[in-house]
Structure 1
Amino acid sequence: MDVTQISNKTIELSDITAWDKNGNKLLVSKVRARNIVEDITAKVEDILKFEYEHNKVIIPYAMTATREEIKIFQWDGEKLENVYTFLTHEVLSEYDPEFSHKKRIFEYYLETLVEGWLRDLADNWKTDNPPKSEELTQIGFVDKIADAAQ
């Protein structure tokens, strides 16, 4: 987990970042595979606010991913709105047929699967119709994404 400290406040960096076709940040995320009490939505919002306040950039999408669910948010510079919640196994079983939210999984592997899904949405490397692409097309995400990386 990478962190940056600015003025007594520590901001975690995005676990996976996606970019649009112009090279601008499109999505930031936090991924957690461990069962701990932690508000990762607040951490994503902190990343978005930091980018807006310090770099004058509005990153339009955010994501949190756990073993149980993947949440997609939209950000307008002021309000973070949850637009979709997907069951993680419904999305990631395309990339690991044995994936289960009940099975022990390490964070790095979960990040790798989520990154693979985002890259599939960008360039269809695995499937012609990646999981949940129809829903994410409705909010303009699929048409904009060009790449994703940890």
Structure 2
Amino acid sequence: MQVINFQPPQKYRPDIMFTNKDEEIILIVEVKAQKPETELNRQSAIYQLKTYLQNIKPDIPFGMLVDLEEINIFALNNDQEIENLISLRTNDILSNYDPESPHKRIFDFYLETLIKSWLRDLSYHWNSDTPPAYNELAKIGLLPLLEGGHTYIQENLGDDTLH
């Protein structure tokens, strides 16, 4: 079983981490199963993602913020500022894994599950030879890093470990 310890405890807990085939963290995902009600809420979520990218481990190339409307993929630039590389419509991506998802209420855990399904499809092509946003992710350099990789979720087991 793969275990990643966070230091200091309980400070940085992204919803999903994705490692490449060499077990290097290449993507941190923050999932918000709600629509951002204000720009301030959205900026707060982006700031949280930026904090993860700057502090969990140096040189994590990508961060993803998922809400019910958009999937945004970010990277830190040379000045350590977060830069939005691409925005995708959440329903356009996730309806490939649950065609009813645009028409029903989605909660955090299920949204995470759908995002993991998409990431695994990009990594292993279990559902499609060309998963949603395949070409867009190739253009920003994320797609080749996903190939053969793995998803990890944060579990609360009494200490800060990621399984």
TM-score category, normalised to shorter length: 0.7 to 0.9
1:81-96 equivalent positions in 2, closer than 5 A: 81-96=83-98
Change (3 A) 1:131 1:35: closer
CA contact (8 A) 1:73 1:82 kept: yes
CA distance in 1: counterparts of 2:124 and 2:77, whole angstroms: 26
Structure 2 portions without partners, runs of 5+: 1-5, 154-163
Map of 2:22 onto structure 1: 22
Specify which structure has the bigger relative contact order, considering alpha-carbon pairs within 8 angstroms and separated by 6 or more residues: 2
Cα deviation for residue 131 of structure 1 reads 0.1
SS at match of 1:11: coil
What stretches of structure 1 of length at least 5 have no aligned partner? none
1:80 alignment partner, one of 82, 87, 91: 82
How does the TM-score come out when normalised to structure 1?
A: 0.84
Are 2:45 and 1:58 aligned? no
Superposition deviation, residue 35 in structure 1: 4.7
Q: Is the strand fraction higher in 1 or 2?
A: 1
Size of the aligned set, in residue pairs, is 140
Alpha-carbon distance between aligned partners in 1 of 2:140 and 2:106, rounded to the nearest angstrom: 30
> Counterpart of 1:45?
50
**Structure 2 contact 36–67 (Cα < 8 Å) conserved:** no
| One of 80, 98, 101 as aligned partner of 2:100 | 98
Post-superposition, which runs of at least 4 consecutive aligned residues in structure 1 deviate over 2 A? 34-38
The RMSD of aligned alpha carbons is: 2.1
Rounded to whole Å, the distance in 2 between the matches of 1:36 and 1:138 is 27
